Amino acid sequence: MTAIDLAHRPNDCMITPCDHFFHSGCLQRWMDIKMECPTCRRPLPPA
């Protein structure tokens, strides 16, 4: 994982209900495989 700089591109990030930040594209690709947070493995709600 890499750090997310919210100062430069705040619209390119998503936050999960468990308060973890991800790049939008990365989280969307992950959600195509699993509907859970990549960090803590909590279930993610359907979009």
SS3 38: coil
Global pTM reads 0.72
- At the top level of CATH, the class of 9-47 is alpha beta
Give pLDDT, residue 46.
82
Residues paired with residue 29 on neighbouring β-strands, in sequence order:
none
d(CA 29, CA 25): 6
27, 32, 30: which is closest to 13 by C-alpha?
Answer: 27
Report residue 30 as tokens.
């992950």
Domain coordinates of the chain in residue numbers? 9-47
d(CA 47, CA 31): 10
What is the full per-residue pLDDT of the chain (47 aa) written as tens digits?
Answer: 666 666 766 678 888 999 998 888 999 999 999 999 999 999 999 86
Give pLDDT, residue 1.
64
